[in-house]
Amino acid sequence: MKKLIALGISIGLLAGVFTAVSASVHSLGGLRAPLVVWVGFAAWACFYSAGGKAAGLGKTLGANATGLLWGWLIFWAATQLAPDSAVILGLCVAVGAFGMCVQARWSPLSFIPGAFVGAACYFGNGTVWQSTLISLVVGALLAYASEALGELPLRTGRTTKQPA
Q: Summarize pLDDT for 80-93 with one digit per residue, the tens.
A: 999 999 999 999 99
Q: What residues contact 134, with CB distance under 8 A and at least 6 apart?
A: 31, 34, 35
Interval 38-49 mean pLDDT: 98
Please give the DSSP secondary-structure letter assigned to residue 83: T
CA distance 49 to 13: 20
Sketch the domain layout of the chain as residue ranges: 29-145
Position 155 scores a pLDDT of 73
- pLDDT surpassing 50 at residue 159: no
Decide if pLDDT at 27 tops 80.
Answer: no
Q: Quick one: pLDDT at residue 32?
A: 67
Task: Report how far residue 134's alpha carbon sits from residue 29's, in angstroms, rounded to the nearest whole number.
Answer: 12
Q: What is the pLDDT of residues 2-21, one digit of tens each?
A: 999 999 999 999 999 999 99
pTM score over 0.75: yes
> What tens digit of pLDDT does each residue of 85-118 get?
999 999 999 999 999 999 999 999 999 999 999 9
Phi/psi of residue 141, nearest 5 degrees: -65, -40
